[in-house]
Amino acid sequence: MLKIISSKLAMIVLLVYFTGISVAIADQNMVQSNLPTMIENEITLTDQQLNLEQKIIDEQLAVEYREKEQQLVEELQRQAEQRLSEIVGDESLQFKSIVATIYAQRDYLLLWENPKFKSIFLRQYAALVASGINKKFSKILAEIDRTSENGGLLHDILLTDAFLEYVYYVDNVAKFAQKWLYFPNTYKMGSPSQHYIDDWLTAVKNNNILFFIDSLSAKNLLHEQTIQQLEKLISTEQINKATLNQIYKLAINAQRLRIIPAFNNGIFVNIPSYRLQYYRDGQLVLDSKVIVGRKERKTPVMYSKLSNVVVNPPWIPTARLINEDIVPKIKRDPDYVARHGYSILDNRGAVVDPYLIDWENIGAKFPYRIKQAPGDSALGSYKFNMPSSDAIYLHDTPNRSLFNKKNRALSSGCIRIEKSDQLATILLKEAGWSEEKKRRVLDSKKTASAMIQSDNPVYLYYVTAWADEGQIHSLPDIYGYDIMPNFNDINWAVVKKYLVDH
């Protein structure tokens, strides 16, 4: 029995021994079979490391190159500005860096050798001086005139410096018109866009400069006619306090006309005229009285486009109107809400009874919304929407008698149109509405709207004096914008020289 067990044990030991040898051999064979793959992976990893290291080196070299390149540019700019300083001496330049670059890149060649271009520019610049928008303009023109006799590079540089300012002004005046053209000393100098500089220099190089200066000119014909009357006034009248006011009104309004395109297409409202004129393809298709914002809530100078027409619009007053106009009336008489078709709504849209509001504890900010029902709202039958940061739009009004007043600065800023039905008819017809459909919707007193199908720009502008066919027209300055600045520093002989004797 013991012998048998020993024999089996021996067999087991031998089996384990040979199994271990087999496993070892198998492991060795596996390593040998995987060796090429391991070597390949190692090579790939090495290549990745080399590529990464090369990339880091390339990036470092690129950074160093850019730094050296920037240093070179800065050094060249420093040399250019130093050279410019040697030329201009004590003369003050507004755009020293830009001017230095322009002349250094062109080996200091003259840029103002075309006399007609120079004359056109200086005429426009002299008109700008007469407008009093910026006191610096008169000093700049005087320096240009002082160096004109000898001409040369200094004179050329001063012209370029002034022209860059003029280009900036022309490019930005529409954007900042409400400040620059209506409030004294609000103009802020800025650098012109590089593309304008490039276009100008290309025009000089290609001898196409007159086309370029024409692209900067105002497109409204009344602008040029007003400038011409300004010329006559300066050339024929002795300049005193009375004539200065006339000169200023023509000059500043000429600049205001600059931002208005030709009267070809669109809705034009000259705010102090209390009129709306609607042009299509150069034809006047609608001329209507309007009501504009009162002095405390001025209608802004702006440009937009009509987007849609709302028939039977509800009226949702602004927070200012609610707090300043409506709430005081409701406090005195809560029945005012029902009599005028208003609803007071909480933040969930639920109607609030005015008699249940604790009016004694209502502060400066009313915590509810107010809405006036369509059909009988303050907006009348139509609302003409357009994008506006000031929430300005055109609309009808149920108070038709107000159009009989001479002074129609009566609204809170929006434009009320006497002939709103005619305007709506034109726009709704284009949207596919028949006259019958329009009347049916109006009678329903339910709100409906239609998208504008045509291009209808809207220009709200403020011009109190202009010339047309040799006649000077003037309007009351209803907002008090025409405040004459201090003209003591202006040399009117120089202005006359370039505006009249050009």
Neighbours of 335 (CB within 10 A): 11
The answer to whether the beta carbons of residues 163 and 121 sit under 8 Å apart is yes
Contacts of 393 (CB under 8 A, 6+ apart): 383, 384, 385, 386, 414, 415
- For residue 168, the one-letter residue type is Y
Catalytically active residues are 395, 414
The answer to whether the beta carbons of residues 162 and 123 sit under 8 Å apart is no
Q: How many CA atoms lie within 13 A of 234 on its CB side?
A: 28
- Alpha-carbon dihedral 140, 146, 147, 150, rounded to 10 degrees: 170
Report the C-alpha gap between 207 and 218 in whole angstroms: 22
Supply the DSSP string of 175-225, one letter for each residue.
TTHHHHTTSTT-----PPPHHHHHHHHHHHHTT-HHHHHHHTS---HHHHH
Neighbours of 166 (CB within 10 A): 20
For residue 467, how far is the Cα from the chain centroid? 28
The answer to whether the beta carbons of residues 368 and 345 sit under 8 Å apart is yes
The answer to whether the beta carbons of residues 380 and 395 sit under 8 Å apart is yes
Report the C-alpha gap between 121 and 209 in whole angstroms: 11
- Opening angle at CA 288, ends 284 and 292, nearest 5: 125
Residues in the chain, overall count: 502
The answer to whether the beta carbons of residues 481 and 184 sit under 8 Å apart is no
Neighbours of 361 (CB within 10 A): 6
Long-range contacts of 93-100, Cβ-Cβ distance < 8 Å, separation of 24 or more: 93/157, 93/158, 93/161, 94/136, 94/140, 94/161, 94/164, 94/165, 94/189, 95/161, 95/164, 95/165, 95/191, 98/164, 98/191, 98/197, 99/157, 99/160, 99/161, 99/164
- For residue 175, the one-letter residue type is K
- For residue 282, the one-letter residue type is G
Report the C-alpha gap between 72 and 66 in whole angstroms: 10
- For residue 420, the one-letter residue type is S
For residue 149, how far is the Cα from the chain centroid? 40
Q: How many CA atoms lie within 13 A of 274 on its CB side?
A: 20
